[in-house]
Structure 1
Amino acid sequence: MISVSGVEPELGDQDWRFTAPDPLTGADYLHQIYSGADPPEVSGRATVPVLWDKQRRTIVNNESAEILRMMNEGFGDLADPTLDLYPAELRDEIEALNARIYPRLNNGVYRAGFATTQEAYEEAFHDVFATLDELEARFSAHRAFLSGERVTEADIRLFVTLVRFDAAYHGLFKCNLRRLADYPALISYLERFLALPGVRDTVSIDHINRGYYSIKALNPPGIVPLGPKLDRA
């Protein structure tokens, strides 16, 4: 079965530290998982998430979109057969949504936040808010989720950006034309997603704030804001 080991929200001197020693490996830090894998993963920075093979004691994957797809398709009888986040009849639409939302919104906020020129920042900024405007119009047409009445992987990929938006991306990443709270249809969608079984338990606005505001390149003093007050976790 799949167990979960969590890391602290802030990056420390050794990057990601486990909230408690990892029960599978005894590691205190994520980089120890990478260097202790068979073969060792030493070609870059240790990042989350990580899908770890308990039997082979190695990293299977550390790319979130690929892990999401693997969770849906690669676990056979261990998974809920009634839940399919990538159904055959919606795959073309899901791929089109991912191709539209990822570069302009999911990655767009990072392009804005880490931009080193005004031109690059403005291009990313406009991509972010053009996409939010498109999504607001989509959900204003009484759609429950991106592809209609059922949740797909495209919803999960969108959710993780929306739930962080007002806490982190609006201020720290300078995506401040509007708050997510200014989009009534998107807020309704976000609340609908948060109401799905188990989802709200995965969200901590405090952890989002502490994690993002620990990025020294964007916030050298490391001061974590006390707001905003958001009823999401």
Structure 2
Amino acid sequence: MSTDATPPVPLRVVVADDQASIREGLVLLLGTLPDIDVVGSAADGAQALELVAEHRPDAILLDLGMPVLDGIAATRRLTAEHPGTAVVILTTYADDTSILDALRAGARSYLTKDADRTDIARALHAAAGGLAVLDPRAQATLLAASGARVADPAPEHGRPEEPLPDGLTQREAEILRLIAQGLTNPEIATRLYLSSNTVKTHINRIFTKTSSRDRAAAIGYAHHHGLA
């Protein structure tokens, strides 16, 4: 009896970057990986949309600073028109505004260009599987920005605390903080002594109230509102 296993289907990816040398380098780099198939490369956001519409890839590796249609606008279009394609940002920008704008636009993962081949491949696979990935530099930027907000002067004594944004309850805010820390649903359930179904219900309500399509968007929301 044959023991040969069917090889896994490669992840189908589009690469978009306006700098030809970087774009071609990424195509060559990812092309050496047996579990990734680069099906197209684009020099701007508009071309990226065309290629995604044509090839229906699992994920797109997208730069932010591109002509015709920049990465943020392209991400919004891709998320709305091609929700089956996960957007992974790969850019030189590591400021909190760029990161948050990308996550709010629908990007599932955010990498800076000092990421290596393994990091990029891992982020692409994770994003295609519905997971969020922020590289260490992006994480540090968001944590620093969040810390600056937390360090703001406290309200005067006796003044009531400001309500949580968008009608979030204290429990939902607590779960959102744990999501932002990277905890899975089972880990959150264990930490808060809740059932998995209860955690899932809270998370669905969090997504609805914050207009988040996935965990990556919720993480961006949490950092933007100082809840992480």
| Higher helix fraction (1 or 2) | 2
Provide TM-score, normalisation by structure 1: 0.24
| Higher strand fraction (1 or 2) | 2
